[in-house]
Amino acid sequence: MSDRPIFRLTALGTGTAAPEPDTAASGLLLQAGETAILFDCGAGVAPRLQQALGAERLSAVVIGHQHADHWIDLAPMRYRFAWGERATPRLPVYLPPGGSERLTPLAFAISERPSFFVDTYDVREYVSEEAFAVGPITVRPVPVQHYVPAWTMDITGPRGERIVYGGDMGPTEATVELARGADLLILEATLETSVGDDPRRGHLTTEEAIDMARRAGAKHTWLVHFRTARREIITRMCAESGLDITPALPFQRIELGR
């Protein structure tokens, strides 16, 4: 029996950019012992994080891309921390390359303090394909096709467990390869149909997500980033696929490494 901590993932938000009554936009809380990482911090995630753990107990935040439904709740979350002196230590917030240039105007727009975020957040920018460690968890951001620059997170836990968090993406062969044999693959299932999506695809239909999961062969796949009204049909499509795939439910928890 290993004394290394269990890898625990909680879905804080399963919705899209459109507000839903029962869930937030994108947000996943990953914990291993005392280490806790929030992946994405979309609208509605900050209060749910307080319910599940508390921003004060986070070890880091990692943002996959800078659409509002993946990072805008960094603003309300900041109010969980003290005003005045610069916090020590500050909470590491990993943004995409160039991301801090977008954070500064947001501070000006919503606060009288230009240092609104940086007094509390240790803002860092990750480098594409370059892994970084947060406690016993390793995170490697891998670029993926979306409407804006976006990254899939290749996450390795304390016992070598692997989670691939796709983030927003069009159909991406590289993610299928990346997720081969992963313990958990998390894919978006935003679209009802691909008709109307940009020619350079930026989201997945449920059929496309299930197809990617089938070809990747991950042990389990969670679907996220869908309208609540579609949960029932997505549940049915997952069941009919014959795969170990389910839509994530708000506050649903998965433990790996037992």
Using CB under 5 A, list all residues that contact Zn ion. 67, 69, 168
**Contact in structure between 34 and 56 (CB atoms under 8 Å):** no
Would you call 141 helix, strand, or coil by DSSP?
A: strand
Q: How many CB atoms lie within 10 A of CB 194?
A: 15
Nearer to Zn ion, 67 or 78 (CB): 67
Strand-pairing partners, residue 137, are: 134
Q: Which of 139, 223, 238 is nearest to 189 (CA)?
A: 223
Question: Least distance to Zn ion from the beta carbon of 69, Å?
Answer: 4
Nearer to Zn ion, 118 or 204 (CB): 204
Question: Least distance to Zn ion from the beta carbon of 84, Å?
Answer: 34
Question: Least distance to Zn ion from the beta carbon of 23, Å?
Answer: 13
Amino acid type, 169: M
Nearer to Zn ion, 20 or 168 (CB): 168
Nearer to Zn ion, 30 or 144 (CB): 144
Structure tokens at 144: 């993926």
Nearer to Zn ion, 7 or 94 (CB): 94
Question: Least distance to Zn ion from the beta carbon of 247, Å?
Answer: 16
Question: Least distance to Zn ion from the beta carbon of 161, Å?
Answer: 25
137-144 and 132-134 strand pairing = antiparallel
Q: Cα dist. 240→235, 236, 237 in Å?
A: 9, 6, 5
